[in-house]
Amino acid sequence: MSKNYYSRIRNKLDRMYTDIRFNAGLYRPRGNGKGILMYHGVDKTGNKRFNQRFVGSGDFERQLVYFKKYMNVLSVEDYFERKFVNDKINIAITFDDGYANNFKYALPLLEKHRVPASFFITGFNPAGLDILWPDFLDIAGSLTDKDEVNIDGDLFNKVGNRWYLKKDGKALHDIIKEKGVYEYKQRAMDAIQKITPDFKHIEEYFDYWKLMSDEEIILASRSPYITIGSHGYYHNNLGNIPLEDAAAELSRSKTYLEELIQKPVNTLSYPDGSYSRELISEASNMGFKYQLATRNYISPEDKSDKRIENRYGIFMTYSTANTLRAFEKNINSL
């Protein structure tokens, strides 16, 4: 047998042992440290049919119980202000994209366990939009029986539920991120929509794409455990568009949210972790005191910049126990 085979067996047994310890109440976090967790959606079962962004409500509650018992859970603001304790892992919890399932499933559990979290919201409601492009591409790619689409004269082939440029194999997801602007995303979605069944009227798919309504955002903002922050206006990759346009989007987002919830909005989560050093300053000047990247900073300077923090994404590739273990291995030391 190969070394890779034995390595896979060892890793599988190690994960099984971690699960046994966790389920028996014997698993404990090791050491101290700090980290901000980045969630996206919560559904009933943790369905992975479309992507890895959705955590089952049962798994999410088990995580909250664990966090509350063994860690110091802070709001994003308190995390930035370093209101840490020295003998525990210090964490903050964030949700990107503003899904309606955050309001439906996550909010009641956060309130039940008295755990603070931040919901980062786009400007899709005032813009008259209803679905984020990654969700559309993932769901449409899973549902369509077509394997070719033409976008702006370029042919794309479907492999699994993802589209790849025929001439060089580049993923449509990556092309959209590089272009940055919403107009290309819309043209891509329009082209794929023509070959995809209309799924927006099917209830079983609602949890995987619907966004919070203005009323739900207002109600969430009234919870003592929820902070509403900006996630851009069009969910553009802000580091890939002109600085002036990116700053205008953030300003527009801030105005929309503050007028909606009647509270200051001073937290910002960059869509797809895309930003620039110049944009950090622009955002700071307009009142975004607390800014969040995704897993990796874009510049070595960011690590010492007190205006921005990176995050650890929670994607349920494995069980709750092994997901938590991976997070604890990757957090920064205090």
- Statement to judge: residues 224 and 100 lie in one domain: yes
- Statement to judge: residues 37 and 173 lie in one domain: no
Q: Which of 172, 199, 226 is the last residue of a domain?
A: 199
Is residue 149 situated within a structural domain? yes
- Statement to judge: residues 116 and 137 lie in one domain: no
Is residue 21 situated within a structural domain? no
Write the pLDDT tens digit of every residue in 200-251. Answer: 999 999 999 999 999 999 999 999 999 999 999 999 999 999 999 999 999 9
Look up residue 308 and give its two tokens. 């921005």
Where is pLDDT greater, at 250 or 5? 250
How far apart (Å, rounded) are the C-alpha atoms in residues 107 and 117? Answer: 9
Is residue 8 situated within a structural domain? no
Number of domains in the chain: 2
Nearest residue to 172 (alpha-carbon basis) of 155, 196, 190, 194: 155
- Statement to judge: residues 322 and 224 lie in one domain: yes
Q: Contact at 8 Å (CB) between 180 and 236? A: yes
Is residue 19 situated within a structural domain? no
176-195: average pLDDT: 93
Q: Which of 171, 199, 227 is the last residue of a domain?
A: 199
pLDDT band at 334 (very low <50, low <70, confident <90, very high): very low
Helix residue spans in 162-209 (DSSP H):
172-179, 182-193
Write the pLDDT tens digit of every residue in 120-174. Answer: 999 999 999 999 999 999 999 999 999 999 999 999 999 999 999 999 999 999 9
pLDDT value of position 126: 97
Q: Which of 147, 171, 199 is the last residue of a domain?
A: 199
Is residue 205 situated within a structural domain? no
Look up residue 31 and give its two tokens. 């050491």
- Statement to judge: residues 194 and 238 lie in one domain: no
Look up residue 229 and give its two tokens. 């922050």
Nearest residue to 119 (alpha-carbon basis) of 266, 41, 219, 226: 226
Q: Contact at 8 Å (CB) between 106 and 17? A: no
Write the pLDDT tens digit of every residue in 40-62. Answer: 999 999 999 998 899 999 999 99
Look up residue 96 and give its two tokens. 């990107």
- Statement to judge: residues 262 and 244 lie in one domain: yes
pLDDT value of position 27: 87
- Statement to judge: residues 114 and 175 lie in one domain: no
pLDDT value of position 3: 66
pLDDT value of position 332: 58
- Statement to judge: residues 223 and 305 lie in one domain: yes
- Statement to judge: residues 294 and 231 lie in one domain: yes
Is residue 265 situated within a structural domain? yes
- Statement to judge: residues 106 and 221 lie in one domain: yes
Tell me: pLDDT of 109 over 80: yes
- Statement to judge: residues 168 and 62 lie in one domain: no
- Statement to judge: residues 187 and 241 lie in one domain: no
pLDDT value of position 90: 96
pLDDT value of position 19: 85
Is residue 11 situated within a structural domain? no
Is residue 148 situated within a structural domain? yes
Q: Which residues have a Cβ under 8 Å from the Cβ of 269 and sit 6 or more positions away?
A: 38, 94, 96, 118, 120, 229, 230, 231, 291, 292
Q: Contact at 8 Å (CB) between 328 and 91? A: no
CATH number of the domain within which 273 lies: 3.20.20.370
Question: Which residue range(s) make up the domain with 166?
Answer: 133-199
Write the pLDDT tens digit of every residue in 264-293. Answer: 999 999 999 999 999 999 999 999 999 999
